[in-house]
C-alpha cells in the first residue's frame, strides 16, 4: 500500500479518544488497525507491533462499560492483524504510569490473566515495542507486560524466547463437494 511504501516496520499505538463519535473504539481500535494491517500486508512490512491492552479477552471488564466496549474492539483489531499474514507482535500492557522506565523488571505473561494491579511505565512499554522489532522470539506472539521489583531486563533475546507463539489460524473449511 502507498501509505507504507518503503517502510520495513510499523509500531501502532493508536487508541480511541472517547466512547462515541468518529474517534470511538470501533473506528480506531478495530477499523483503523484492520486498515493498517491490510496496508502492511500489501507493502511487505517485515513486522507490525501493535500496542493493545491487558484485559482484552474479558468481555465483562469495567473498561468496556465505561469506554464504548474499547477492549472488545481492541481484541477485534488484534485478530485482524493476526489474520493479515503480516509478521506481528501484540503487546498488552497493564495500567500505564508516568514514572521513569528502566527502574524495575519488565515481566511478560501470556493468556490475559486478570491482574488489576499490574502497572508499567510508558517508557518501558515503548522499549518493549522497539526491542520486539529486532528479536525473532517476539514474532507472532501476543503477551501482557507489567513491572515488578527487580533489575531491568538486560537480555531481551531471553525475555522474548520465553514466550510461546500464537496458535496458527485454523485453515478455512473446504467447500462441500456437490456429488450427484
Sheet arrangement for strand 88-93? 9-12, 47-51, 88-93, 141-148, 105-109
Q: Tell me whether residue 53 is one of the annotated catalytic residues.
A: yes
| Strand, coil or helix: 134 | coil
Neighbouring C-beta atoms of residue 140, cutoff 10 Å = 17
How far is 62 from 41, CA to CA, in rounded Å? 34
Nearest alpha-carbon partner for 129 in 145, 113, 117, 116 = 145
| Strand, coil or helix: 143 | strand
User: By the 8 A CB rule, do 22 and 62 touch?
Assistant: no
| Strand, coil or helix: 90 | strand
Active-site residue, from 12, 53, 134, 154: 53
Residue matched to cell numbers 507472532 = 140
How far is 68 from 52, CA to CA, in rounded Å? 16
Active site residues: 53
Amino acid at each position: 500500500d502507498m501509505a507504507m511504501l518503503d517502510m520495513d516496520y510499523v509500531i501502532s499505538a493508536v487508541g480511541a479518544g472517547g466512547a462515541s463519535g468518529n474517534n470511538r473504539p470501533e473506528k480506531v481500535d478495530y477499523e483503523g488497525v484492520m486498515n493498517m494491517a491490510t496496508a502492511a500486508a500489501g507493502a511487505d512490512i517485515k513486522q507490525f507491533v501493535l500496542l493493545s491492552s491487558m484485559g482484552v479477552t474479558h468481555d465483562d471488564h469495567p473498561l468496556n462499560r465505561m469506554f464504548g466496549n474499547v477492549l472488545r474492539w481492541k481484541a477485534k483489531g488484534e485478530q485482524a492483524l493476526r489474520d493479515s499474514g503480516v509478521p506481528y507482535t501484540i503487546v498488552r500492557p497493564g495500567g500505564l504510569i508516568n514514572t521513569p522506565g528502566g527502574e524495575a523488571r519488565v515481566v511478560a505473561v501470556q493468556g490475559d490473566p486478570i491482574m488489576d494491579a499490574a502497572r508499567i511505565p510508558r517508557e518501558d512499554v515503548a522499549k518493549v515495542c522497539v526491542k520486539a522489532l529486532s528479536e525473532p522470539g517476539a514474532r507472532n506472539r501476543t503477551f501482557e507486560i507489567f513491572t515488578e521489583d527487580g533489575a531491568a531486563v538486560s537480555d531481551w533475546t531471553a525475555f522474548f524466547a520465553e514466550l510461546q507463539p500464537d496458535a496458527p489460524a485454523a485453515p478455512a473449511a473446504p467447500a462441500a463437494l456437490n456429488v450427484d
